[in-house]
Amino acid sequence: MVIEELEKLLTLQKIDNEIFEKEIEVNLFPEKEKNLNREIEIFEKKIKEIKDDFKKLQLDRKEKELEIKSYEETLKNLNKKLDEVKSNKEYEALLIEITNVKKKISEIEEDVLILMEKEEEIIKKEKDLQQELNQKKEIVSKTIEEEKKKIETLKKEIENKKEERELIVKEIDSKIYNLYEKIRNTKKDKVAVVKIEDGICSGCYMTLPTYIIEKVKKKKEVVQCENCSRILY
């Protein structure tokens, strides 16, 4: 009688453990999905930063180009003045001024070139990152898709297992079943029925007193471990 009940309990426990493990996996999915999406977000942030850098460089360059234009205007005026000078001294002073302006222009032009090179580098970097991001997005969405399918399957399996469970629970003596549930709900490992192995309770690893082992052997009643309360067999 008790042996049959115990066998049913063990079957029930097997089903419950399967449900428990599957539910853990189902519950882990949202966090998994979040982490996968976070990878993409980090990447997008990096690209945005690069784009901002690029804008800054462009603004910087435009400013310098305007500066060149203004110096060129100055140069034009100086050249005009050159035609109208009346003395050598004035002429020489103008020449010096023209040389200085030309020097200034060529300095800024060099800066502009450096900025343009930097812009090119950034464009390339952005393109590479964008490509990498697209690949990553593809992988992530595929992974999420697969995970979702897996979760759907798991949910169906859980449903099936729960139906299977119902049938077995109906067959178990309600007192024994309630005891099983009570123990199970207090245990982290969700194990309520455990084997005696070499005189030790395999639930809490305590050595069991002989009289308990004898009681279990007689198979006339449900025996619990005095330490962890699990049902012994």
* Interface positions with Zn ion (CB under 5 A): 201, 203-204, 225, 227-228
Nearer to Zn ion, 140 or 203 (CB): 203
Judged by beta carbon, residue 186 or residue 227, the one nearer Zn ion is: 227
Q: Please, what is the minimum distance in Å from the beta carbon of residue 188 to Zn ion? A: 14
Residue 54, number of CB atoms within 10 A of its CB: 17
Residue closer to Zn ion, measured from CB, 158 or 194: 194
CB of 201 to Zn ion, least distance (A): 3
CB of 2 to Zn ion, least distance (A): 18
Say if residues 154 and 22 touch (Cβ distance below 8 Å): yes
Gap between the Cα atoms of 81 and 94, Å rounded:
8
Structure tokens at 173: 């003596």
Cβ 228 to Zn ion shortest distance, Å: 3
> What torsion do the CA atoms of 81, 82, 88, 94 make, to the nearest 10 degrees?
80
Helix (H) or strand (E) holding 225, with range, is none
Burial class (CB in 10 A: 0-12, 13-18, 19+), 205: exposed
d(CA 126, CA 55): 12
Based on CB atoms, which residue is closest to Zn ion, 168 or 204?
204
